[in-house]
Amino acid sequence: MTPLRQRMLEDMGIRNLALNTQSSYLQQIRAFSKHFGQSPDILGPEEIRTWQVYLLNDRKLTPKSIGIAVAALRFMYKVTLKRDWAVEEIPLPKQPRKLPVILSRDEVVRFLECVGSMKHRTILMVAYAGGLRITEATRLKVSDIDSQRMVLRIDQGKGQIDRCVMLSPLLLDMLRNWWKVSHPDTWLFPGATPDRPITRGAVEDACAKAHRMCGIRKPITPHSLRHAFATHLLESGTDVRTIQLLLGHRSLATTARYLRVATSTVCATTSPFDLLPHPPQPSPPSSPPEHF
């Protein structure tokens, strides 16, 4: 391990960055250094610009992926290398604001019914019932189920934040059925070996298979169930602040985007077209020309 890599690891550890973030940053810096065949400490703004152009035009990466590369470079040059040039001038690509595609309640049922494995179906039901990220669902422990208080404890979710979500009585029955069948010890959904949780990839593969079988044209990933959870709560009258706490969002603005897809806010508003006193009527189709 090079001294620069070791120091960057220490800097990230001091700031308690998530392990996934640390791994991603190191991967980005390694790719940047390999592209130029030189150590990053002798590269500068011009090489960074060239790298970004390469990622955009040659690698065809999305703005989100380029943003991760920029975040890694900013951290290394500002924190670890302490460069005196303005690191903030490394351009961060503007992220497109896309609305999530929302499954209806009937579509959620239809999709879950097509999940063949009891383990995969149960974990996806947990994701919907509690609005969990897939990594949060895969890392649930048996001890995280509090049937006395009827809550699920989410230990160190995104941003290393603990939170609790509601434990549906119906979900509790299904979790008890799952426990009777599998008898998990530590991890609620163990992977290939009992000492490790199920992998995210295994759940994503099961989700993709069920998506093909259910015939729903909308895109479906495990995260789609989290989007559906938030939107369905909003449509049933739950306030945005409560949904923010359940989802574990730091910013209320992140949660508020569901206002733009909830039928209770979008469809409940009367279009001005319906208020016109005498709306124009569609013209009848013209008669086909006579040929004789």
Nearest to 137 by CA among 248, 219, 234, 22: 248
Where does the pLDDT of residue 292 fall: very low under 50, low under 70, confident under 90, or very high at 90 and above? very low
Write down the pLDDT at residue 94: 86
Q: Which domains does the chain possess?
A: 3-89 (1.10.150.130), 105-266 (1.10.443.10)
Distance CA 15, CA 8 (A): 11
Convert the pLDDT of each residue in 90-105 to its tens digit: 888 888 888 889 999 9
Catalytic residue of the set 139, 211, 226, 227: 226
Catalytic residue of the set 153, 158, 200, 257: 158
Write down the pLDDT at residue 254: 79
Catalytic residue of the set 119, 211, 227, 249: 249
Please indicate whether residue 226 is annotated as part of the active site. Answer: yes
Which residues make Cβ contacts (< 8 Å) with residue 242, sequence separation at least 6?
Answer: 233
Predicted TM-score (pTM) of this structure: 0.76
284 has pLDDT over 70: no
36 has pLDDT over 70: yes
Where does the pLDDT of residue 43 fall: very low under 50, low under 70, confident under 90, or very high at 90 and above? very high
287 has pLDDT over 60: yes
Please indicate whether residue 158 is annotated as part of the active site. Answer: yes
Convert the pLDDT of each residue in 109-124 to its tens digit: 999 999 999 999 999 9
Please indicate whether residue 249 is annotated as part of the active site. Answer: yes
Average pLDDT over residues 165-183: 93
Catalytic residue of the set 78, 141, 223, 257: 223
**% residues pLDDT > 70 (the chain):** 93
Please indicate whether residue 278 is annotated as part of the active site. Answer: no
Catalytic residue of the set 119, 120, 121, 133: 133
Please indicate whether residue 120 is annotated as part of the active site. Answer: no
Please indicate whether residue 258 is annotated as part of the active site. Answer: yes
Write down the pLDDT at residue 259: 78
Maximum distance among all Cα pairs of the chain, rounded to whole angstroms: 91
